[in-house]
Each structure stands twice: as structure tokens, then as C-alpha cells.
Amino acid sequence: MFEKYLSKTTKSMALYEHAKRVLPAGVSYGIRYFEPYPFYAAKAKGSKLYDVDGNEYVDFWLGHTALILGHSPPTVIKAVKEQLENGTHYGTSHELEIALAEQIQKMVPNAEMTRFTNSGTEANMYATRLARAYTSRSKIAKFEGGWHGGYDALHIGVKHPFNIPESAGLTAGATQDTILLPFNDLEGAKKRLKNKEIASIIIEPVLGAGGGVPAEKEFLKGLREFCDEKGILLIFDEVITGFRLASGGAQQYYDVNADITVFGKILGGGFPVGAFCGRKEIMERLDTRIYERPNYTFHGGTFTANPITMTAGLATLKILEDGRLINKLNKLGQKIRTQLREIFEANGVDVQATGAASLFNIQFTKEEVKDANAVFGADRKKLVDYHLALISNGIFFLPTHTGTLSTKHSKEDIEKLFTETEKYAKLH
């Protein structure tokens, strides 16, 4: 099964042998490893990734879904080059951070105030802390299959079976206040929260790592009402959905408001970023002029709001602001989900297409996929096999992960996906 890949990636194989000596598993993030070894990228442009052996890949992984404008979009690169000459990191306040916070507010009206971080993980950590501080409650809730980064309190119930700890080194104390809820099941969630005082419920409006499963609109609306009723802060983790589902993210797409919104990925325009935003009265807990210890909530970081990221983010959001490109991508996403399903069905393979907007994946199962249980219950081995077959033929998905579209994907790129999928489906 690996024959073609092995013969095309000899330099990557040598690099992998080398990398293993200094990087655990030869990678800098566990999920980037896949069998027999990952290829090592040499450059990227538009919709394409190129590896050290000179192979070209149509990239549907797009830097963990971050690159909605494709690799190195000229407008963003030009702005960043100019900023590089004016300083890479100030460690002081500057105008660009104000401009980006205002741009977020313009696109996501609920985001009255923002604080920047360097990753989605950090942003979720600070958002959780803020919710706890604001409500004076300790317990929090998240959903099965929800991935919010590696912060201890949110690092449970990501992979099936949900009762096995996600990582060694997580103390009981760090996770004992986190309640796990069933996704797309309002009554089930309410039942698990009965008689519990909780600070926040955090949700990915579309499960990303959990298989690209969208929340149902009625479920999200019900969750919003439940949070209002109980004084719970609803946190939307829009690290993937932000500026992708709509210019106003999942809140606009679903017409449901969150109390705190967390962003990452697209917001950085290709550079490291995270942000948490919310209503003024909540965010003011971070204001040292108003609150003192022990009532104020800490947030910070050496590289927060660094001018390179702020520049790239601002240039990116301005391009996305009117929603035109996003709408186009969403239509293409719908077409891809439909066509991939039809290709497999025509070849007698049972699949479900998951995803929403410009996110798409395939699950090899007959059953309807409404939560991460169904995703993990599908044939994961076959999904890896399908993605590896695509990689060997010049189409990159990080195996099992959701595919993503950028404005740089061409008709030919999409046709290639269909053609290679058809070849695979015919043989399986």
C-alpha cells in the first residue's frame, strides 16, 4: 500500500530517519505523523504544497485549516514584508492591535472587546479562566469529541473511548471540574448538568478533529436558551469556524450568539495567533484599572499581538470581510461533499459526507453521523487508507482529518480530488 509513496519520497524518508533523533516521532506535533513517515515540506504557494523530493500536492489540510487564502497570499505577504522593516516585535502597545480588534468587532458584533494570544489553546485556557472568574463558579462543560487544544481542563473526552485520559500527566485535579456532554443532544446534555452549577459550556460549532460534524441549529439555539436560564457563559470555540463559515463565523452562520468567542488559525493570516473576545462587561474582568487581585483575571504573553501577526490578520480579514469569497467557498464545499458521497455510492461503498461550509470529510459508515461517537465508530482504517492513497497521488489531507478549501483551489484541483477518489473507490 505504501509502495508508490515510498518510491516518491526517498528524501523525506532520509529526513525522517534524521528527524527522529532530535524530534519525538520526527515531528513537532504528534498529529503530523502518519505512516510510513510524513513527507517534509520544502515550499508552498497558493493551493499547493511541495515536498523535499519535489512532489506537488494539492493541499486540503492548509496548515491545520488556517490558510483560507491559500499559501502566501500576495496581499498578506506584501503587508508583512513592509511591517518586517518596522519591527517584528514591540512588546508595547501599538496601533495594529487596535485595528485588528476593531476589525474583529466589525465582522463579529458580539466581540465587543478582544485579547490576543499566540494559539487557540491559550485563548481557550484564558477564556475558561475568565468564565470561571465572571461567574464565580468552578465547574465547566465541554462536548464529546470537542478539541480545544492541549489546556489541561479542556483536554478530556476528545477521542473515543472518552473515558480514557487523553494524555499522561493530566492530574485528576485538573480535569475533575470538567463535565463531558453529548454532542447534538440537548436533553442528554441537560441531564448531565442537572443540579450542577457551571461557569461555562464550550463548544465547537462544527467538530473539527471530531470528524467535521456540524452542530444542528436547533441544538445550538436550545443550548443558548439553557445557558441564559442558568447563568452559564456559552463559549464558541471558533478557532476553525471563525471567518470561515461566514465573515461573522458560526454566530452569523447559525444566528446564535456566544458570550465568549475564541478565534485562532485564520485570524493570524498564516502566523501564530489566538484571541478571545466577548461583551464588554465580561472582558472588563481583565482590566487591571477596574479589578484588583483577587477579582481580576490574568491574561498575557510575551508575543501577544505581535505586529507581524496583527498585520497579516488584518490584511486577511479585510479580504474576507464582505463574505463574497466565503460564500463561494461554501458553495464549493457543498458540491464536494455531495460529489464525494456520490462517487463512493456509485461504487457500492457506504459513506457519509461530513463537514459544513468549506470543511469536508468522508466517514466510511452506513450510519448517520451526528456526533463523534459515530465518527469513531466508522471505519477509521479505511479513511487512513483513502487519505494515504490520495497523498501518494498528489493530494494532501492529514490522514483522517477534515479537508478545507481555500480561495486558491482551482477547478483542476477539485477535479483531481474527484478523479483520484473515483480511482480509489473503484478498487475498494
Ligand X SMILES: Cc1ncc(COP(=O)(O)O)c(C=O)c1O
Handedness of CA 310, 315, 317, 321 (dihedral sign): positive
Residue 239 is a binding residue for ligand X (CB under 6 A): yes
| Number of chain residues interacting with ligand X (CB under 6 A) | 15
C-beta of 262 vs 349, nearer to ligand X: 262
Nearer to ligand X, 141 or 343 (CB): 141
Of the two residues 9 and 251, which places its CB atom closer to ligand X in the complex? Answer: 251
**C-alpha grid cell for residue 245?**
463559515
Applying CB under 6 A, which part among 35-43, 232-240, 362-370, 384-392 lies near ligand X?
232-240
| Closest approach of ligand X to the CB of residue 28, in Å | 12
Q: Is 161 exposed, middle or buried (0-12, 13-18, 19+ CB in 10 A)?
A: exposed
Nearer residue to ligand X within complex by CB, 46 or 149 = 149
Q: Could you please report the per-residue DSSP string of 272-305?
A: --EEEEE-HHHHGGG-TTT--TTTS-----TTTT
Binding-site member from 237, 259, 371, 420 for ligand X (CB under 6 A): 237
How does 283-319 read in b/e, with b if 16+ C-beta sit within 10 Å?
Answer: bbbbeeeeeeeeebbebeeeebbbbbbbbbbbbbbbb
For ligand X, which residue of 57, 61, 147, 219 counts as binding (CB under 6 A)?
147
Spatial CA neighbour of 127 closest among 215, 238, 29: 238
The 3-state secondary structure of 362-401, one letter per residue: EECCCCCCCCHHHHHHCCHHHHHHHHHHHHHCCEECCCCC
Nearest residue (beta carbon) to ligand X: 120
Q: Is the dihedral of CA 165, 239, 56, 355 positive or negative?
A: positive
- The CA distance from 117 to 135, in Å, is 22
When binding is defined by CB under 6 A, the residue of 119, 358, 373, 407 that contacts ligand X is: 119
Q: In the sheet that 233-237 helps form, which strands lie side by side, from edge to edge?
A: 113-117, 274-278, 260-263, 233-237, 198-203, 139-143, 178-181
CA angle in degrees (0–180, nearest 5) for 313-315-317:
65
Contact 353, 337 (CB under 8 A): yes
Distance of CA 249 to the CA centre of its chain: 12
* Residues from 156 through 195 that contact ligand X (CB under 6 A): none
Q: Which of 121, 178, 316, 392 binds ligand X (CB under 6 A)?
A: 121
CB under 6 A: which stretch of 2-10, 143-151, 247-255, 375-383 binds ligand X? 143-151
One of 129, 137, 148, 299 touching ligand X (CB under 6 A): 148
Q: Which is closer to ligand X, CB of 13 or CB of 170?
A: 170
Name the nearest CA neighbour of 178 among 142, 222, 147.
142
Residue 120 touching ligand X (CB under 6 A): yes
Question: In terms of CB distance, is 241 or 365 closer to ligand X?
Answer: 241
Q: H-helix or E-strand containing 139?
A: strand 139-143
3-state secondary structure (DSSP) of residue 132 = helix
Sign (positive or negative) of CA dihedral 402, 408, 411, 417: negative
| From 149, 242, 355, 403, residue interacting with ligand X (rule: CB under 6 A) | 149
Beta carbon nearer to ligand X, 126 or 219: 126
Among 131, 201, 213, 240, binds ligand X (CB under 6 A): 240
Part in contact with ligand X (CB under 6 A); list of ranges 144-152, 224-232, 353-361, 409-417: 144-152
How, if at all, do strands 274-278 and 260-263 pair?
antiparallel
Stretch that binds ligand X, among 114-122, 330-338, 355-363, 404-412 (CB under 6 A): 114-122
What's the closest the beta carbon of residue 124 comes to ligand X, in angstroms?
6
| Residue number, 9 or 65, with CB nearest to ligand X | 65
| Contact with ligand X (CB under 6 A) among 182, 210, 214, 264 | 264
Q: Is 155 in the site for ligand X (CB under 6 A)?
A: no
- Of 30 and 169, the one with the shorter C-beta distance to ligand X is 30
Q: Which residues contact 363 (CB under 8 A, 6 or more apart)?
A: 211, 351, 352, 353, 354, 369, 374, 375, 378, 383
Site residues for ligand X, 198-217, by CB under 6 A, read 204, 208
Residue 56 pairs with which residues in a beta bridge? 50
Question: Quick one: 251 or 392, whose CB is closer to ligand X?
Answer: 251
Of residues 124 and 247, the one with the C-beta less far from ligand X? 124
Which window, 20-28, 172-180, 235-243, 376-384, contacts ligand X (CB under 6 A)? 235-243
Residue ranges in contact with ligand X by CB under 6 A:
64, 119-121, 124, 147-149, 204, 208, 237, 239-240, 264, 274
